[in-house]
Structure 1
Amino acid sequence: MNTEEQKVSNESSKDITFGYFSEKDEEKKKLSSEQFIDQSILRSQVVEAKNELDVLTCPICMNILFKPISCSGCTQSFCKACINQWITPKPALRVNQSGSNSMPLNNNIANNNGESTNNIIQNIFNNNINIFREANNFNNPQNNIFNVAQNQSNNRRSSHEDDEDDDPFLFNSQPFPSQQAQVSQEQDTHANIISFQQQNQDRVAGGSQLMYHVQQQLQQGIQNQSQMQLQQIQQQQQQLQILSNNPNVLNRQTCPHCKQIFKGTNIPLVNKLLGSMKIKCFYNENGCPEILPYDSYEKHCLKCPYEGVKCDGCKEVIIKKNIDEHISTCKEINEKCEKCQFEQPRRVFFEAHTEMKCLQLQIVEKDKKSINLISKVDQLATEVQLLRLQLNTIQMGIPDNINNFSFQTVFTNNFKFLGNQAILEKDSFNEQKKKKDFLHFFLNRPFYVHSPVLQMFKIRIDKLQGNIIMGISDSQLQNSMDFMVNKQGDIKKKEKSENKYKQKDRAANFIIQEKNTILIKYIPFLYTVEFFNIDLNVSCRLDSSYILEFPHQFFFFYSLDHQSDQITFLSC
């Protein structure tokens, strides 16, 4: 039994063990859907056909046509999978990682004539050995030194056999005539040996020349072979270059029958002939008894209950209709506890999954979930904080601190302005009302209703013996619409057509006292003016219901009624 037969025997002996099918045999026995994909129809599957099968045979796989495609040139039909594989372009030359041509230099390289390097070496050596033998007449047995030595040995052996009965002491006496002849023969033999030794030395020298000659021819042969391979590779490169430069040539895949460019077509007659066939199901070996018309063959095979399905646990191929029953009993299928998520193959699950271990894993799993929830809560809290900052920026607008202040008033004889300070030097008494009049001045800059800028400034009440009014007006003229708040927190409104303030609301707990600092700001997106008493931490707001009554802009104004009262305007 040679090596190949022994290997085949070993492989076959591994497939069957103790009378049971191995996994390899089981897959062969139970065909799976993976094997059905692009599979030709075997002749053995055909039960009934009205025509000769040779007419409906694919010339590539030699099986019954499956999803036939015909060549438009010669009308030869092929299986769809077979012709697609046939016309798929294949690389003509490997390229190694460095980009150079891949040319392995081993002893099995074949030249253009299909001759390997080992054969070339052997042929060169044999040819030179024959030349050497002919030059030295080695083919003549009489001139062969080994034959001469063998003859001499035989002669000496026969002469000793003849003298076994003679007296051994006679060797020291005068030799007999027969002995003289033997001595003479031995002397001749000795001379022949010396002569052959000289010839042998000459032949040894000739052998060195032979080896040098063999090496030279061997190097020349390998060099010639390498050059031929290089030329062949260069020719292949040139052909590939021509193909890459001409896409029309590259896409010309030829029909294996007519050698013309393959253009697929559908021949109704072929489909009609195939449609008259009746075929066994592909999974007939799995036990499917169905005999099908050709047209419904594929549809049935894709849904056949005898299809082989590989089990996820033991990896054995099981018939589809029995797979549920197999899964319910397979020891290699993973079992999973819904409480602790413990998962192991069924054969070890119930031993490894104890009640105590289940509780421990549940605690560990809940701890992990708690840590994840805490991390998510912290992450969400950070995101909320960022969103609040963004929302605050949107609501409050872009901060703009007012640093320069200028004032305007019609009561120039009553007010004195020293930089950012406003002083009422002379008050005014109304004889008709029997009380002092409020004299007002404006902060000489407009505030725009729809501005995105958050504008802020502060006022400090340096001296306050009378009352004080802070408000906003739609203009710096006397005939204007005003909203105001006094030091008791009363919010009032004056219409343009009137000259009297009417009570609108009251800000709870808001008061203004001497030495207090009031932060005043306009919040644009909320349309709100806020008066915030920093010292008492109370505020009064004029919200959008007031501000949106102004169409475009408004002005801040302040009123004092007691002589020597003064306020100072500050930046934030």
Structure 2
Amino acid sequence: MGFEVNRFQGEVDEELVCPICSGVLEDPLQAPICEHAFCRECIQEWISRQPTCPVDRQNITSAQLRPVPRILRNLLSRLYITCDNASYGCTSVMKLDSLSSHLEECEHNPKRPVTCEQGCGLVIPKDELKEHNCVRELRALIHSQQQKMTDFQQEMAEQRFQINEQKRELQLLKDFMRAMRISNPAMRAIADQMERDEVLRWSNSLTRARVTRWGGMISTPDDVLQQKTVHNRCLLTSKMLKTMMQNSVTTNWFQYGAHEKHLWSLFR
């Protein structure tokens, strides 16, 4: 719905008046062909009943409506209008484009949110401050919080029930597979394979551990640590083989020397 014409100072051009509500255009839209302008709420309600232009009866749909030109919006924004709270004592006059920001701060606005200073500290509309009862409002707030807590507990209980049902079904499936494995050799192989696949899936889902300090037990090391471990093992094996070869050569040498001394003693 548009703004009442008597709220504006001076004359208002008829091009700025909505043909449907006879008020000054509010959030206007225009028809695509005839370019007649209407309030957004007025024209949408009109089209919902009959899809024609209210002025020349041309066919029109809601999707065909578009914003009015900038020059029309500028003319509307330059109009001076009185405050919506004039009946409550506000005497301010401002441009139409400043009306919304003024209403948020207007001291005479009966719906302006204010803080209760009687002790509860709740934020309520100004026109409800006289009938406000701190005890009643706090009780209502506590009741609403308790209701939310009760709903949350019920939801948690339902989820626990579903989890327990799933665990029970899983246990029944395991018992069934165990019974089939005992009674049927073919099913035993299938069950064993399923268990191996389950263990493999579980092991593959584990993340590799990151070594942050030396010492202690290391589980599932990363690739770099594995390569380093293999390299160290190769070096250790190489050193052991080298030592064994040296010991072997030394032992043979001593054995050969003792045998030669024995032969010389025979020929003397």
Greater relative CO (CA pairs within 8 A, separation 6+): 1
Structure 1 length normalisation: TM-score? 0.24
Structure 2 length normalisation: TM-score? 0.46
Flag the structure with larger Rg: 1
Q: Which structure has greater strand proportion?
A: 1
Q: Which structure has greater helix proportion?
A: 2
